[in-house]
Structure 1
Amino acid sequence: MRKTIFLLGQKLRNPNMLKEYYKLKETEKSTIEELKLIQLQKLKRLLEDANHTPYYKKVFKNEKINILDINSLDDLKKIPIITKSILIKENDSIQNKKYNKRLMKSETSGSTGESLKFYRNEYWDSVNRAAQLRGYSWYGVKPWEKNGYLWGYDFSFLKKLKTKILDFLVNRFRLFEYNEKKTMNFVKKCKKAKYLEGYSSMIHEVSKIANKNNIDLSNLKMVKGTSEQIFESYQKSANKAFGKKIISEYGAAEAGIIAFECPHGNMHINMENVIVEEINNEILVTNLVSNSFPIIRYKLGDFVMIEEDHNCVCGMKHYVIKEIQGRVGEVIQGNINKYPSLTLYYIFKNLSSKYDLLLNYQAIQCKIGEIELRLSKNITETEKHYLIKEVEKYFNKDLKVDISYKQFIRSKNNKLRTFIQKL
């Protein structure tokens, strides 16, 4: 019954999804040369569509780029980098008017600034969902199976009602209120589910309550975190509660599914649908199916490490993202110097590797030269000494650090950010 409802809904909303899913399964074990050929073919089609938009037509003219001269993936570098601010400012001139049927409105979370609104066509949406389904297939997950969802939501009555109807159609249940009683009810429902996905910080809360009440959730085939950093301390709790680690999906509304973690712990890039470049450890993404709103050499704003020569046991040759290290451009202001917020990532990574000290944290800066480090649990004086030692190694005496155990601050859509600046 559930499978029938899912397939009927898919046929109406995403008629291309299953066809694209089977294509992705066929190319799963393709060679790098074969994958690059697919990328080049899709890139040429994307550039043809981009050339129909006022923005890209102007860019190609100004840069003296003839799209017919783009004959290799290296030629992509001739095209200027695009940023989120440009996508917002030039929104209407980037939207491809050639695509005017079966458009779906998309919007980024806006958790780090102004949100981006655009329209993607059915094929784009279907390919994105197909890439997600391929990732699910690695864990034996069927999309119509009962699943739990931990995500942002809208408090308005109509939006909440619409969400509940959609959740029913896809056999999904979610947590609308994040308190211990509601979370406990959610945990009990997970006993009958096959997979769980959502914000990693909320998955962590679910695992803590399951462990506290000795509830075994090893029935879940897959536990997937996205949109937030997955701390090592989360994995310790997850392994106890679920009998497995939290796996990661990396992507964005405008960039699509960029990478998905395989059962052997490697984040394989979705090379059939995206081209990923790394410049000074910063990621650039070209979404190869974004024909209705071309996303070409997009500065997503994350620091990453990419490994091209990785022989994964799973057999896939797709490039691997080794680490997603944090947001680009967020700055901690000392009394004298400025520091990238990525510094916090290295401080807590060192605590884990050197002292086996696993901490969840959130840093808040409200005043120049001062920062509040909120920790999720109390630490001993010895552990505090280790933390201060690491902090001073990176910031010297330029920054006063206050350690507290207050509740973490979340955005309107319930997303947890590791660094918040309120200067």
Structure 2
Amino acid sequence: MIPFIARNIFRFQETLLGRPSFQILHELNKSQWWSRDQLEKLRSDRLNVLIHTAYSHTPYWKALMDSHKITPADIRTVKDLQQFPLLNKDTLREKREQMVWKEEGKRVQLVRTSGSTNEALEFYTSSSREAHINAARMRGHEWVGVRRGEKEMYYWGSPVELSKQDKIKRFRDFLINDGLSNGFELNKDRVQEYVSHWMAWKPKCLFGYPSTFVLTVSMCRDMGIDIGALKDRGLEVIITTSELLSDVDRNLISKAFGVPVYDSYGLREGGLMGHECDRGTMHCMDEQIIFETVDPETLEPTACEGELVVTNLVGRAFPIIRYRTGDIVTLSQKKCACGRQLSSIKISGGRAVEFIVTQTGKWVVGYSFIYIARMVKGIVKFQVVQEKLGEIQIRIAVDARFPENGKNQVRELARQRLNSDDKILVEIVNDIDPAPSGKYRPVISKVAEQLYKERSFS
């Protein structure tokens, strides 16, 4: 599809869904050049609206503010926010129905995510909130030369994209120049098929998980496939998401594909929070989110590195105020050479995803298993452990909603994902402890670690 036409079809689609994404994009493209004083005025105004909304329309936030003797008029600045206690996933999960304003606007609906921390989580979103996220993502992509309507290949997967690729969705994706390759299950044949398809489809941008790109590079080298040839077929940039992108992996991916690699950072429940510009600075979405850092142990505010705490300024249907992300970051006001006045963020702690390796030699990315938690009720935490080839242990922490045949459901869904004869053991546990970084690892595979060291992809 011609990019101009694809862009306007997407614009029409957003309008039908009640999402003024392009209007917000237009505003963001102006505000990124504002002075810090102008940006802070916008943030303060939005914070004031958010707090008044939370107090007036959600029982949870009204009760919390009353119990802490906080009035909406008390919260005017970022520092004032520290009067609020920190919000964590458990509270969000338990008090969800008391935190939502269902009359906020169009399409206020429940969504579910397991996220990189691998804890099942349901929360509410709305057309307004999604429009802000879409606009922020479009702006971030424009920073590195990709406009909505130009061909983008999404190298990842989700239950919807991978299980319901019907004719209507495929046709819609064709109209807006979106492509999808399943990055959840990789083997040599599949990677070879993907690269051939990309050569023919000629995407300008590949978008996906760093670990998937790294594995693709390694497999292509093993097969003698020159993925650098994609550059001659129109590929200009790779954008990564969802995992920690190390300098080593960035250089490996960039060298193999022959194009620059830029990273983005977000949480489904928090929104898109950061995106790299063409100068390599990960700018914060200052117009939409307030960022703080705290000491992960004492929870006291820090001026340097610390655990990221976010307040979403544009999610009025489901106010997120001082939410602990579990990610260790460093915030900075240092000006970027690109000239934008937005602050910046550096991710220094953790979201690495590993793979399970089947007896047939297929590498299955950890996020594939996380989605099983979305399909079986009552799963709170989920972890896959592989100590030896041919045997996989799935550990789950559950609540009262977990069905009697839940273990069989998990086992069968995992078998479908693996599509192999590997032995699958399902164990219910009281809890799953986080790694030292504070993040829950969805997959711990000694097999993958060893084979990866050896670069053995049989």
Quick check: TM above 0.5?
yes
- Show structure 1 runs of 5+ residues with no match: 329-337, 345-360, 366-370, 380-404, 408-423
Aligned pair 1:98/2:103, yes or no? yes
State how far apart, in whole Å, the 2-side matches of 1:126 and 1:155 are. 20
CA separation in 2, counterparts of 1:127 and 1:237? 33
After superposition, where does 1:170-189 map in structure 2 within 5 Å? 170-176=176-182, 177-189=185-197
Shift of 1:362: 10
Matched, 1:292 2:317: yes
Q: Residues 43 and 287 of structure 2 are in contact (CA less than 8 Å); yes or no, is this contact kept in structure 1?
A: yes
**1:262 paired to 2:357:** no
Q: Is the 8 A contact 1:147 1:194 kept in 2?
A: yes
What amino acid maps onto 1:193 in structure 2? P
What whole-Å deviation, never above 9, does each CA across 1:153-175 have from its counterpart, x for those lacking one? 33898634375455334322222
Provide the rounded CA distance (Å) in 1 between the counterparts of 2:308 and 2:351: 10
Q: Which deviates more from structure 2 when the two are superposed, residues 176-185 or residues 42-51?
A: 176-185
Aligned partner letter, 1:9? Q
Gaps of 5+ in 2: 296-305, 353-432
**Offset of 1:227 from its aligned partner?**
0.7
Q: 1:186 to 1:84 in 2, by over 3 A?
A: same
- C-alpha distance 115-364 of structure 1, shift in aligned 2 (>3 A): closer
Kindly indicate whether the alpha-carbon contact (under 8 Å) linking 2:335 and 2:343 is maintained by their aligned counterparts in 1.
no
Displacement of 1:377 in angstroms is 3.7
Question: Which amino acid is 2:43 matched to?
Answer: Q
* 1:66-105 paired onto structure 2 within 5 Å: 66-99=71-104, 101-105=106-110
DSSP 3-state at the match of 1:374: helix
CA deviations 1:89-145 (Å, max 9, x no partner) are 001000113325322442222553442222212111101100011111112212112
For 1:282 and 1:157, locate their aligned partners in 2 and report how far apart those are by CA, in whole Å: 34
- 2:225 is aligned to 213
Answer yes or no: is 1:56 the counterpart of 2:71.
no
Higher RCO, 1 vs 2 (CA within 8 Å, ≥6 residues apart):
2
Q: 2:181, 2:127 → 1: CA distance?
A: 29
1:185/1:373 CA distance change after superposition, 3 Å? closer
Q: How many correspondences in the alignment?
A: 351
Is residue 2:437 matched to residue 1:342?
A: yes
Q: Is the 8 A contact 1:106 1:253 kept in 2?
A: no
- Whole-angstrom distance in 2 between the partners of 1:375 and 1:245: 29
- Determine the structure 2 residue equivalent to 1:246: 261
Structure 2 Cα separation of the partners of residues 57 and 34 of structure 1: 30
* Kept in 2: contact 1:327–1:342 (CA 8 A): no
* The 10-residue stretch of structure 1 (149-158 or 221-230) with the greater mean CA deviation from structure 2: 149-158
Match of 2:52, SS? helix
**Which residue does the alignment assign to 1:387?**
none
Match of 2:6 in 1: 2
Deviation at 1:406, TM superposition (A): 8.6
Question: In the alignment, is the contact (CA less than 8 A) between 1:273 and 1:288 conserved in 2?
Answer: yes
The one-letter code of the counterpart of 1:72 is: T
Q: Is this contact kept in 1: 2:111–2:124, CA < 8 A?
A: yes
Contact 1:363 1:372 in 2 (8 A): no
1:317 corresponds to 2:341: yes
- 1:383 aligned partner: none
Q: CA RMSD in A?
A: 3.0
2: CA distance between counterparts of 1:117 and 1:3?
31
1:347 aligned residue = none
Question: Is the Cα–Cα contact under 8 Å of residues 53 and 94 in structure 1 kept in the other structure?
Answer: yes
8 Å contact kept, 1:187–1:206: no
Amino acid of the structure 1 residue aligned with 2:339: G
Contact 1:303 1:324 in 2 (8 A): yes
Q: Which residue of 2 aligns with 1:374?
A: 449
Change (3 A) 1:157 1:297: closer
- How far did residue 190 of structure 1 move? 2.7
Query: Once the 2 structures are TM-superposed, how far is the Cα of residue 372 of structure 1 from its aligned partner?
Result: 8.6
Give the share of equivalent positions with the same residue, in percent. 30
